[in-house]
Copies of this chain bind each other. A is one copy, B any other.
Amino acid sequence: MSKAGADEGGAGGCGDSAKQLEAKDEKGGTLLSKLPAGPGWTKVSCPCCFSERVEPLVVVKLGGKVGPETKRWLIKMIGAPQKDGGAALLAHPGEDASGDIIVVSAPRCTLLRAAEELGLCKTYRSGDMEAFSYNDRDNFKDSDNMEAFLTLAERQYIVKYELDGLRAQKDLRIPGLPESRMLQKRDNIWQKLSSAGVVVDTFPLHNRKKLKDLGEAWYSGNQLAQPLGGWKYNTLLLHLHAVLFIQIAVKILHYMHLSLLEGTMIHNRWLRRCAHTRYLCLTYLDSVNDYFGSAVAFYFSFLDFYTWSLLTPAILGLTISYFSGEAQKEMVDSVSGSKVIINDDDSGPMISGHMLQAMFSMIWSTVFMELWKRRSSSLSYRWGTMNLAERFAEPRPNFHGDLGVNPVTGRMEPLFPEWKRDLRMVLVSVPVVGLFLGLVVLGMMCFYWGEAQVKQLHKDWDSLLSQALLYIPSVLHIVYTNMLGNVYRNVAQSLTEYENHREESAFENHLTAKILVFTFFNNFAVLFHIAFFKQDVPLLRKRLASLLIVSQLVNQVTEVVIPFLVDRFISAPHRTESEDDPQEDKFRNQRTLPVFPGLFAEYIELLVQFGYLSLFSCVYPLTAVLLLINNITEIRSDAYKICNLFRKPFSPPVANMGVWQVAFEVLSFVSVISNCWLLLLSPRLQELCREGGLTSTNVLLLAVLGEHVLILIKFIMAALIPDEPDWIRKKREQMEYTSMQALKEQKLQPEVS
C-alpha cells in the first residue's frame, strides 16, 4: 500500500472515458465492449487502480420491484473500500438509476489482493511460478496489466468472491426494504439480498471476440485435419508416447554405457520436438483455462487425454474382434437382439482374446490413471493453482458456527468443530444415502418381479392388451428411477449443507460424491446383477452393446441437439442483436441463455463409460471403439455447447479433478475384481478346466489367487509410477525450502527492525 496516497479523486473510466474504449477496442482486442456515456463507474479509492478503460466483468440482475434508493445503496456498497465493509469493486448502474442491472468490474488492487488470498501462483521474475504476494507485486510478470496477469475466468471469479464475501459491519437497514429485512452484524449481505429478491441473478459476461477466437480453434476447424480438440494434441500424444519409449530406451542404453553419444543425440532431438508439440497443445488448453477457468479446462484436458488413451484398447478390441471372427456376429447380435448364437459363443480362439482383453484393461486403467495424475499436476502448476490457500481463506458464505478465533490464521470467523461434522456424516448422511441405494435395489427387484408377472400374464392371455402390459414394468421403473433421482438430488444438497463444510471445494466434493455414488449405482446395478447373480455372459454382452449405442445416442441428442434447436428456434428470435442496440440490452440478452448446468453430467458420462470399458469390456471387445467414436464427437459437441448454448459459468480455480479423480481410481480397482470374475464365467475357460481335470472349487481358488496377485501388481505399479513429474517435484520442494528459509528469516526480522 506504499503507493496508496491521498489522491482520492481518480475515477475509474467515467462516462467520457468509456467512449475512448471504442477506439482502443480494435487495438487491444481484449476489451469486452464499450459502455455508453452515462452516470459512469463508481470511483476507485487508490490512484494506482485508476485506468482509462474499465472492462465490464459481471452483471447483477435486480428484481423488478427494487427502488432506485436500494440500487444506489447497493452500488455504494459494491464500490466502498473493504475497510468500510464494501467490496472495493467498480459498479456501473447500466442505462440509468432505475434500470434493473448493475454492471460490476474490479480495480487492480482488489484483483491483486484477492489473487493473494486465493493462493494463486503467477510467473515470478525468475520465470518460475510462485505464490502471488500483493506486497511483492512488482516482481511478478505483467502485474500492471490485469488482463494479461489474471485470466478472464479468474477476474470474474474474484468479483463473485468479493460480492459473496460482503458482510454487514454493524446492524443496518437496507434503504427501500421493509424493517423485517434488517441486516444483523456479520450477516452475509449477498445472501440476504438474494433471499429478499433484490438480487435475482449474478452472472459473468461473455467476451464475444475471445469466444469467437476460442471457438474457431476449438470446434469449427477443418473437420478432417482436427477431429479432436486440435490436431496438435493428437500429434502431441503420439509424440509423447514415442518419446516416453525412446527416453526409457535411451536411459537403459545410457545406463549400460553403450553408444552414449548417439543415444543422447537422438534423445535431445526428440526432446526438442516433444517440447514443441507440448507447447502447441498447451496453448490450446491454456485458452480454455483463460476463458472458462481451470475447472472446465481440467475437464477438457481429461477428456482429451482419455480419448487419446482409448486408441490402444480400441485397436486391441478391433484386432480381437476381427481375428475371432466375431465382429459381424456381435454387431448383428446387438442390433437384432436375437440370442441364437449363445451356444457357439466362446468357441475357437476367443478365449485368448477374452483373457488378453481382461489383463490388458487392468494394466491400461492403472497406467492411464497414473499418467493422468502426472499430467494433472503439470497442468495445475502451469495454471498456477497448485498452491491454493482455500483452507486459510474466509469460509464459504453458507458456513455457520459459533464466532471464534481460528487457531490457524488467528482471524475472527465462525468455527465448527470437526467431530461434529464427522458425527453428522456418520449418523445422518451415510444412513440416508444407504437408504436411497436400498430403494434403487428395491426398484430393480420390483421391476424383475413385475416383468416376470407380466410375462406370465401375457402367456396366459396372449391378447393385444397383455402385450401392451408388457411395457408397463419398464415404464414404471423408468419413472420410479427418475423420481428417485430427483428427490435424491435435493436430499443430497440438504445433507451436504447440513454437514456444514468450511471450504467451497469440500462442499462440492461431498455433494458430488453423494450424487456420484447414487448415479453410478443406478447405472451399474443391472449390469452387476446380470454378471454376478444371473451369471449370464451373453445377456451381459447384449445389454452392454445396447447401452453403449443407445445411451450414447440419447446423450448426444439430449445434450446438444435439443438445446441447439431450442436455442435456434425458440430463444434466438427473441434475442436478435444488432450493432445499434444499447450495450445494456446486450448484457440483458446473455441472461436469456440457460444457466450452465455444471460439469457433473459430463464427468458422470465419462465415468460410466470408463466403467463399461474397465469393468465389462472383456465380454464386448468393441467397447473401446464405440467409446472412441463417441468421445471424438463429444469433445466438439461439449465445446460447442459450453461456448454457445449456455450462460458463461463462474469457475473457481481448482488444482485437480477433485472427487472425480478418486472415483476413477476406485473404479479401476473394482475392475480387477470384475475382470477376474468375468474370466471365470467364460464357458470356454470352464470347459478347458474340466478337460484339465480341475474341479470348480480349484478353478475358483485359482481365480481368487490370481485376483489377489493382480491387485498386488496394481498396487505396486501405482506406487512405482510417481504421481508428479520430476520437474514438478523439484519445483515443489524448492517452494517448500524457500518458505522454510523465509520463516526463519522472518522470525529474525522483529529483532532487526
Question: Is B252 a contact partner of A136 (Cβ separation < 8 A)?
Answer: no
Which residues of B lie under 8 Å from residue A741 when comparing CB positions?
746
CB A158 to nearest CB in B, in angstroms, measures 18
Which residues of B lie under 8 Å from residue A262 when comparing CB positions?
none
Task: Kindly state whether residue A704 has any CB partner on chain B within 8 Å.
Answer: yes
The one of B252, B423, B740 in contact with A255, judged by C-beta atoms closer than 8 angstroms, is B423
The one of B133, B392, B737 in contact with A392, judged by C-beta atoms closer than 8 angstroms, is B737
| Cα distance, A737 to B390, chains bound together (Å) | 11
Binary per-residue interface labels of chain A (728-753) against chain B in the complex, 1 for a CB within 8 Å, 0 otherwise: 00100110011111111111110100
Question: Is B407 a contact partner of A730 (Cβ separation < 8 A)?
Answer: yes
Task: Kindly state whether residue A420 has any CB partner on chain B within 8 Å.
Answer: yes
Question: Is B408 a contact partner of A136 (Cβ separation < 8 A)?
Answer: no
Task: Kindly state whether residue A409 has any CB partner on chain B within 8 Å.
Answer: yes
Task: Kindly state whether residue A7 has any CB partner on chain B within 8 Å.
Answer: no
| Cα distance, A232 to B202, chains bound together (Å) | 62
Question: Is B136 a contact partner of A748 (Cβ separation < 8 A)?
Answer: yes
The one of B389, B423, B720 in contact with A252, judged by C-beta atoms closer than 8 angstroms, is B423
Which residues of B lie under 8 Å from residue A138 when comparing CB positions?
751
The one of B252, B700, B734, B744 in contact with A701, judged by C-beta atoms closer than 8 angstroms, is B700
Contact status of A744 and B700, CB under 8 A, knowing A255-B423, A737-B408: no
Question: Is B743 a contact partner of A133 (Cβ separation < 8 A)?
Answer: yes
The one of B135, B407, B708, B730 in contact with A744, judged by C-beta atoms closer than 8 angstroms, is B135
Which residues of B lie under 8 Å from residue A751 when comparing CB positions?
135-136, 138
The one of B255, B697, B730, B749 in contact with A420, judged by C-beta atoms closer than 8 angstroms, is B255
The one of B139, B708, B726 in contact with A747, judged by C-beta atoms closer than 8 angstroms, is B139
Task: Kindly state whether residue A569 has any CB partner on chain B within 8 Å.
Answer: no
Q: State the number of copies, please.
A: 2
Contact status of A738 and B743, CB under 8 A, knowing A255-B420, A697-B700: yes
Task: Kindly state whether residue A418 has any CB partner on chain B within 8 Å.
Answer: yes
Which residues of B lie under 8 Å from residue A419 when comparing CB positions?
251, 726
The one of B701, B730, B742 in contact with A743, judged by C-beta atoms closer than 8 angstroms, is B742
Task: Kindly state whether residue A131 has any CB partner on chain B within 8 Å.
Answer: yes
Contact status of A131 and B740, CB under 8 A, knowing A136-B751, A700-B701, A704-B704: yes
Task: Kindly state whether residue A592 has any CB partner on chain B within 8 Å.
Answer: no
| Cα distance, A2 to B293, chains bound together (Å) | 50
CB A437 to nearest CB in B, in angstroms, measures 14
Question: Is A135 a contact partner of B748 (Cβ separation < 8 A)?
Answer: yes
| Cα distance, A566 to B351, chains bound together (Å) | 67
Task: Kindly state whether residue A696 has any CB partner on chain B within 8 Å.
Answer: yes
Which residues of B lie under 8 Å from residue A734 when comparing CB positions?
407-408
Task: Kindly state whether residue A210 has any CB partner on chain B within 8 Å.
Answer: no
CB A483 to nearest CB in B, in angstroms, measures 30
Question: Is B409 a contact partner of A747 (Cβ separation < 8 A)?
Answer: no
Question: Is A116 a contact partner of B697 (Cβ separation < 8 A)?
Answer: no
Task: Kindly state whether residue A673 has any CB partner on chain B within 8 Å.
Answer: yes
Which residues of B lie under 8 Å from residue A134 when comparing CB positions?
744
Which residues of B lie under 8 Å from residue A422 when comparing CB positions?
720
Task: Kindly state whether residue A477 has any CB partner on chain B within 8 Å.
Answer: no
Question: Is B747 a contact partner of A133 (Cβ separation < 8 A)?
Answer: yes
CB A554 to nearest CB in B, in angstroms, measures 33
Which residues of B lie under 8 Å from residue A720 when comparing CB positions?
422, 426
Which residues of B lie under 8 Å from residue A746 when comparing CB positions?
741-742, 745-746
Question: Is A423 a contact partner of B251 (Cβ separation < 8 A)?
Answer: yes
Binary per-residue interface labels of chain A (111-138) against chain B in the complex, 1 for a CB within 8 Å, 0 otherwise: 0000010000000000000010111101
Task: Kindly state whether residue A391 has any CB partner on chain B within 8 Å.
Answer: yes
CB A465 to nearest CB in B, in angstroms, measures 42
Which residues of B lie under 8 Å from residue A251 when comparing CB positions?
419-420, 423
Residue of B nearest to A407 (CB): B730
| Cα distance, A67 to B720, chains bound together (Å) | 52
Which residues of B lie under 8 Å from residue A116 when comparing CB positions?
744
Question: Is A744 a contact partner of B697 (Cβ separation < 8 A)?
Answer: no
The one of B135, B738, B748 in contact with A133, judged by C-beta atoms closer than 8 angstroms, is B748
CB A698 to nearest CB in B, in angstroms, measures 10
CB A100 to nearest CB in B, in angstroms, measures 41
Given contact pairs A426-B720, A739-B739, a sample of 4 additional A-B residue pairs in the complex whose CB atoms are under 8 Å apart: A131-B740, A251-B420, A251-B423, A742-B745
User: Which 9 pairs of residues, A with B, have the shortest CB-CB distance?
Assistant: A133-B744, A136-B747, A742-B746, A739-B743, A135-B748, A742-B743, A742-B742, A408-B733, A739-B739
Which A residues contact B (CB, under 8 angstroms)? 116, 131, 133-136, 138-139, 251-252, 255, 389, 391-392, 407-409, 418-420, 422-423, 426, 673, 696-697, 700-701, 704, 708, 720, 726, 730, 733-734, 737-749, 751
Q: Can you list 26 residue pairs at the A/B interface with Cβ under 8 Å?
A: A116-B744, A133-B743, A133-B744, A133-B747, A133-B748, A135-B744, A136-B744, A136-B747, A136-B748, A251-B419, A251-B423, A255-B423, A389-B740, A392-B737, A407-B734, A408-B730, A408-B733, A418-B726, A673-B708, A700-B704, A704-B704, A739-B743, A742-B746, A743-B743, A745-B746, A746-B746
